[in-house]
Structure 1
Amino acid sequence: MSSRQLLPRRAAPAAAVPEGAVGPAARGRRRQSPRARRRRWLGLAFAAPALIMYGFVVVVPIVQSVSYSFYSWDGVSTARFVGLSNYTAFFTDPELGEALAHVLVLVLFFAGLPILLGLLSAALLGRGKLRGAGLYRWLLFLPQVLTSVVVAVIWKRIYGPNGPLNSALRAVGLGDLARNWLGDFTWALPSLGVIGTWTALGLCMVLFVAGVAAIPNELYEQARLDGASPVKEFLAITLPALRGQLAVALTLTVTGALRAFDLVWVTTQGGPGTSTTTPALLLYRKAFLNPDVGMAAAIGIVLAIICLLVALIITRLSEENA
């Protein structure tokens, strides 16, 4: 045997693959099998009824509302095209401007106070075992299982001239403070705000307590070993960990204040005078009581856009600070 035959053979150089060329195996992986295609179409078939229903119930009314907002129409006579006049009136009408100012006050009561009190409740209930904590949670969450109309009727009786609130004030010698709370020009709006605080507090508390329960105990143990006080533990560990829950609570409560209608309608109907009017209440009046369908549609569209922007801003801020 010659020495040439004993030498190892060199591997043949790999053939250059043109750029963009794809092998048969890769083409097979890219090409969906008939079974996968059938599954995809089957999933769409199952979702089709819900999508069709969503289109009729949500998409079509939105499109119609946008169309109506460009017309002046009382719902009966011939509609007259007015372009952007309804949207211009939204920002120039003094009544709507006053209603938007009322919403800013309601945001403080519907969002600010419930979130602060919810964080306090989470700090007290989330880490330690307090006696009666279950009853406390149940009482705070009770408004969430009641309809808003029931809540409004209950508080309307509480705020009445001879209701429990005034009776309690008279019983402790503060009868001079008793008044018709929902009929007072100064106190009607804050009184509505207190109802919103009571209603939203339970939701915020449940969100924050659940978030605190998910925080690892090791973080708190390490903080205590480092000599951190309960306040520092809350600011350094609890509050940053509740960023997601804060975003959800802010979104729900702020948009709830922007859309406030049922509590206002059942308790004050926007009175006394216009001291408790809200954009949603004006929308109802213009749509059904003094028909101006175009203006009502414009109010609804602007409110929807504002709620969407609020949700996007809160979500963006929470993601940036994550």
Structure 2
Amino acid sequence: MADRRRLIALAYIAPAALVYIGFAIWPAIHTVYLSFLDWDGILPATWAGLDNYRAIFTDSMLGPSLWHAIVLILFFAVIPCALGLFMTALLQGTTRGMTTFRVIFFLPQVLPLVAVGITWRWLYNDEGLVNQGLRAVGLGGVTRAWLGDYNLALIALGFIGTWAMSGLCMVLFLAGAQKIDTSLYEAVAIDGGGPVRRFFVVTLPALRGEIAIASVITTIAALASFDLVFVTTNGGPANQTTVPGLLVYRLAFNESNIGGAAALAVVLTLVVIVFVTAIRRLTREKP
């Protein structure tokens, strides 16, 4: 009987497992294999060993691109999580209009990032709404082509990520807050605690799991960012917004260096794993 149940369970799992192996596991293994080849995508490949990895780590663009991706973590993960917690504290316990709030704030997650990038590129240009708003309040002296500014392009790009990710964090935190036992809030209130104390004593510890999930999702989005950067700045100005994902694209499709692109993709994957592992360790509940 147990064997029959096991076979039935495997039969249910098999279709999804085959799809996952075919579209996730096998491509990952094949990418690792390609990283050891010298191949332009057309002519026969030759074995390169670790040469592609040596070239990647001696490339002057790798360090700055990784640093740009780490800076984007602040805008894609840290600020959105903080804003999500703040919005959760404000909206917690509110039922009126909650669905509308969730739809409005979650809308950026529904939109393709290519469409988001095109829209914000227009908002940020010389005559876009951002500069028009600054002129309207008497700050015309600070207007500029934000995505073309050497010093501010990366920050301007980061704020797009903040706008896109904050709603996701808020919805996750609100969902987690709804499962908290109301008696815990009553106990803090009886003890004389106000809204701020209730949030830090009850809500914040209870959202540890949701914070971990949101941090992992947004950190991966920052480190693996490509489409948003490609559409808005394409790495400019002067490579000030170049990220590893964009370097992978350039190596593969501009320079026809498939092996180098695969090696950089493997390195980027390892960096993501390191960051995700660190986040999980920092946010896991202590026994």
Moved more, 106-115 or 145-154: 145-154
The equivalent of 2:243 in structure 1 is: 278
The equivalent of 1:51 in structure 2 is: 17
Task: Indicate conservation of the 8 Å contact 2:208/2:285, yes or no.
Answer: no
Instruction: Report the structure number with the largest CA radius of gyration.
Output: 1
Matched AA of 2:140: G
List runs of 5+ in structure 1 lacking aligned partners. Answer: 1-34
The answer on 1:206 being equivalent to 2:171 is: yes
How far apart, CA to CA, are the structure 2 residues paired with 1:50 and 1:204?
Answer: 28
Instruction: Encode CA deviations 1:140-179: one digit per residue, 9 max, x unaligned.
Output: 1110111111111111110011111111112222111111
Identical aligned residues as a percent = 48
Find the residue that maps to 2:192 and give its secondary structure: coil
List runs of 5+ in structure 2 lacking aligned partners. Answer: none
Matched AA of 2:108: P
How far apart, CA to CA, are the structure 2 residues paired with 1:53 and 1:236?
Answer: 44
Q: Displacement of 1:320 after TM fit?
A: 4.3
Q: Displacement of 1:305 after TM fit?
A: 2.1
| Aligned pairs (5 A) from 1:92-241 | 92-128=58-94, 133-241=98-206
Find the residue that maps to 2:155 and give its secondary structure: helix
Find the residue that maps to 2:141 and give its secondary structure: helix
Instruction: Encode CA deviations 1:200-242: one digit per residue, 9 max, x unaligned.
Output: 0011000111111111111111111111132221111111100
How far apart, CA to CA, are the structure 2 residues paired with 1:70 and 1:179?
Answer: 45
Task: Indicate conservation of the 8 Å contact 1:148/1:262, yes or no.
Answer: yes
Q: TM-score, normalised by structure 1?
A: 0.84
Matched AA of 2:35: S
Q: What is the RMSD computed on CA atoms of the aligned residues?
A: 1.8
Q: TM-score, normalised by structure 2?
A: 0.93
Q: Displacement of 1:111 after TM fit?
A: 0.3
Task: Indicate conservation of the 8 Å contact 1:127/1:212, yes or no.
Answer: no
Find the residue that maps to 1:306 and give its secondary structure: helix
Q: Displacement of 1:42 after TM fit?
A: 4.1
Aligned length: 287
The equivalent of 1:292 in structure 2 is: 257
> Relative contact order (C-alpha < 8 Å, sep 6+): which is higher?
2
Specify whether residues 128 and 39 from structure 1 end up closer, same or farther in structure 2 by C-alpha distance, changes over 3 A only.
closer
The equivalent of 1:310 in structure 2 is: 275
Task: Indicate conservation of the 8 Å contact 1:189/1:275, yes or no.
Answer: yes
The equivalent of 2:36 in structure 1 is: 70
The answer on 1:249 being equivalent to 2:249 is: no
Specify whether residues 76 and 194 from structure 1 end up closer, same or farther in structure 2 by C-alpha distance, changes over 3 A only.
same
Matched AA of 1:186: N
Matched AA of 1:243: R
How far apart, CA to CA, are the structure 2 residues paired with 1:311 and 1:251?
Answer: 6
